[in-house]
Amino acid sequence: MNKPPDFRHRAHLVERMDQPCTREELRACLRDLGRLNRWFLAHRPLFHWLNTFLTQATLRPLRILDVGCGGGDALRQIERWAMKRNLSVELTGVDVNPDAVAIAAEASAPSSRIRWVAADILAYSPGKPAHLIISSLFTHHLVDRDIVRFLEWMERNTALGWFINDLSRAAIPYHFLRVFASVMRLHPFVQSDGPASIARSFRPHDWRRMCHAAGLAERDYSIRSFRPARLCVARIKA
């Protein structure tokens, strides 16, 4: 990407990790992506939201489904979060890429009870309805019409709510990440896909339009920014 995108609109860019690659390449990419997420506290918005459900979690095994789980970092953190609080959870990670699912399973402790599933989420039907559905850095990989379908799918398949943790489209984080990923010598996929992800991501008006298309009223969800460069959409069902 030699010319900066027009940040007024989502960019139509191809990310290298979405293309065919070896499992070794994907493993190295996911490892550096995990490092980047830890450095920039990428999972902080998710746990801010999960704490809302602590009361419900004491009453039942809380079934949490992570869509586009990648290397599984988010679910492993949730598993530790639940253990520290003596909460009963049933955790499932779903990713369309079988190599990502295999990598997530490899990276998990033998004692982990997380279930990993390779499936296209829009064709996937959970054995039991999830209480909570989450996704991190997933929706920007989709075109708008499939995001609307995903929102509709979550509405059908969750009992308590869902949470989308994704990026905010803006020039400053785009240019910062280009430089930072290069200086830190992160995996080439991360160096190219990181800025592309920001260019493909969202502003609040994008989410309001897509939520409306999915049949949601503005009172049904909230949109909140988190630094750095996160834009999250949350739904808590009555």
What the block records as the tokens of 108 is: 């998990």
- Residue type present at position 102: A
Q: What is the pLDDT of residues 33-86, one digit of tens each?
A: 999 999 999 999 999 999 988 876 666 789 999 999 999 999 999 999 999 999
Quote the mean pLDDT of the chain.
Answer: 94
Can you give the pTM of this predicted structure? Answer: 0.94
Domain annotation for the chain: domains and CATH numbers: 20-168+202-236 (3.40.50.150)
Q: What is the pLDDT of residues 21-43, one digit of tens each?
A: 999 999 999 999 999 999 999 99
Residue pair 150/209 in contact (Cβ under 8 Å)? The answer is no
Q: What is the pLDDT of residues 150-183, one digit of tens each?
A: 999 999 999 999 999 999 999 999 999 999 999 9
Sign, CA dihedral 169-65-76-94, equals negative
Q: What percent of the chain has pLDDT over 90?
A: 88
Distance CA 64, CA 47 (A): 13
